[in-house]
Amino acid sequence: MTQFTQFAVEVRQQMADINARLISLEEHSRNCSSGEEPTRKKRRVHNPKIAETVRRLHNSEGNNRRYEPEQGLSSPHNEAVTSHLVAALTASPDMDGVDRGVLLSACKTYYETVRRNFRYSQPDLADQAAAIKNSACSRQRRKRLLEARRSVLATIEEVDFWRGITIDMMSDEEDHSVDGEVGWIVRPPSFRSHKLSDLCGRLQERLEMNPKYVATHHKRLHIGSPSDRLAPTQYDADAAKRHLMRPEA
């Protein structure tokens, strides 16, 4: 078996695994899409599958051609890597019918990821990389908090009031420790309305009455100073009347 043939076999094996892992995501997207969303969400579901395949293929033990992040994408070496990856993907039956341009774009996008990770690994960008990582972590925590609180809305009035809310309205949960106890310092957004803050407090109390939730989340140690995040510049006008602090006359 030639090296390229072995490489193509790895593609098929990896695609089978990825298909199994992502099938539930595809079904969920088809069930949840509405209005103008289906086209955009369909693209999001399709692209992650290809992107994950490219990543695993590029980093597989059987692949001896990998991107050099110190070089530009158009360098002879990196162009050869792109051609190699695209050829292997095209040879895979699981990619039958996928436009070559889509595969090429996915490979180039992965190069940008490799390049970005390399740049942020350099000493002069270490602080910037840490800031980006912390920001992404904080955003994920606010997203999970929003979803958890949405799950315990109990009345029609609460559901109506909650409508249009975004993760920007959730508090930042920052790692901290007090007297040896590890947990989170909670920093609510300064621009959140008092009424929304009251509702968030009630929803949080409901969550913390659930032993399973308590067991899988850090303890909120205490409320800290308001978050220094700025109010969102784009927010639904009707929701803003409920969720955002109104400026004093």
Rounded Cα distance, 136 and 131, in Å? 9
The reported pTM is 0.52
pLDDT at position 8 is 55
pLDDT in tens, 195-244: 999 999 999 999 999 999 988 888 898 888 999 899 998 899 999 999 99
**167: CB partners within 8 A, 6+ apart:** 139, 142, 143, 145, 146
Residue range 123-139: average pLDDT? 76
Q: Which of 2, 246, 193, 167 is nearest to 201 (CA)?
A: 193
Residue 56 has pLDDT above 60, yes or no: yes
Q: At what angle do helices 37-59 and 3-32 cross, to 10 degrees?
A: 150
In what helix (H) or strand (E) does residue 216 lie, and over which residues does it extend? helix 211-216
* Measured distance CA(128)–CA(90) in Å, rounded: 38
Task: Give the per-residue pLDDT at 23.
Answer: 45
Residues 160 and 141: their CA atoms lie apart, in Å, by: 24
The structural domains of the chain, with segments of one domain joined by +, span: 3-121, 128-243
Residue ranges of alpha helices (H) inside 60-185 are 76-90, 100-120, 126-150, 156-162
Reported as a pLDDT band with limits 50, 70 and 90, residue 133 is: confident
Q: Helix, strand, or coil here: 134?
A: helix
